[in-house]
Amino acid sequence: MASKSSKSSPRPKTRDRILQTALALFNEEGEAEVSTVEIAAVLDISPGNLYYHFKGKDAIIEGLFDDFEEEIRQVLTAPIAKPLAVEDNWIYLYIIFEEIHDFRFFYNALPTLLDRCPSLQPRFRRLMALKQDVAKAILISLQKAGVLAISQTGVDLLAERIALQITYWIQYCSLKDPNRKEAALIHEGVFSILSQLTPWLGEDGIAYATLLEEFYESRNA
């Protein structure tokens, strides 16, 4: 693993503050619009002090990716280690969407940032593969539990579509309606993903359908 654990070596405080401020500015204004000079100005530190911690914007992006990778990897690997209960699937999707929303500047400019920071390419590609593996693991556990009646090819195709939808849902909805609030769009994303399983519901799928209905109604609660 290329990523360093932030727990093993406590970071200097300034380094943390730079990352937090950069993340907020990148998410708000788009990474392309924010310079290191601006980040230093918001933090009220000198550009030299910032440069001592990060040798340019790409180093900040890599630092933020380290954090993102560590957090999302922990979330993603959970259901591979221990299958989720059916009723936990929606909470799980929520957490993934929130993680992506926290680092949305990265998802908003994926091809550009990966071109500029080639060291992140294989790492991001591993996360994409992991996302698809997790979707597959969840579908297979639902299949084994009799909730889904679906073929092996069906599982593969569906896992790929779910991984794609997780990757781009927030960007897609924000482009459609820039005023849509985070909570609403994540809720709709979870519902859209879970509801596509309904046509495959098998003999033991009634509990799932009830769950989904309750979830849909909680939208308007």
- Contact with its own copies (CB under 8 A): which of 17, 42, 45, 124? 124
The vertex-220 CA angle with 219 and 221, nearest 5°, equals 95
- Contact with its own copies (CB under 8 A): which of 35, 192, 210, 218? 192
- Contact with its own copies (CB under 8 A): which of 35, 46, 74, 195? 195
Region near its own copies per CB under 8 A, out of 5-13, 66-74, 93-101, 113-121 = 113-121
The helix-helix angle for 120-144 and 57-81 (nearest 10°) equals 20
Q: Which two tokens stand for residue 49?
A: 């002090």
- Contact with its own copies (CB under 8 A): which of 19, 100, 109, 134? 109
Q: How many Cβ atoms sit within 10 Å of the Cβ of residue 82?
A: 8
- Binding-residue pattern over the window 75 to 94 for its own copies, x denoting contact by CB under 8 A: --------------------
* 117 in contact with its own copies (CB under 8 A): no
* Long-range CB pairs of 34-41, under 8 A, 24+ apart, other chains included: 36/60
* 167 in contact with its own copies (CB under 8 A): yes
The helix/strand/coil state of 34 is coil
Q: Least distance in Å: CB of 152 to its own copies?
A: 13
* 28 in contact with its own copies (CB under 8 A): no
* 219 in contact with its own copies (CB under 8 A): no
- Determine contact, residues 18/54, Cβ cutoff 8 Å: yes
How far is Cα 68 from Cα 22, in angstroms, rounded to an integer? Answer: 14
The helix/strand/coil state of 201 is strand
Residues 6+ apart with CB under 8 A from 132: 159, 160, 162, 163
Q: Least distance in Å: CB of 32 to its own copies?
A: 5
Region near its own copies per CB under 8 A, out of 54-62, 65-73, 136-144, 162-170 = 162-170
Residue with Cβ nearer its own copies (80 or 175): 175
- Determine contact, residues 149/201, Cβ cutoff 8 Å: yes
Residue with Cβ nearer its own copies (141 or 165): 165
- How many CA atoms, within 13 angstroms, populate the side-chain half-sphere of residue 40? 16
Q: Least distance in Å: CB of 196 to its own copies?
A: 7
Residues that bind its own copies (CB under 8 A): 30, 32-33, 108-112, 114-116, 124-125, 128-129, 150, 154, 157-158, 160-161, 164-165, 167-169, 171-172, 174-176, 192, 195-196, 198-200
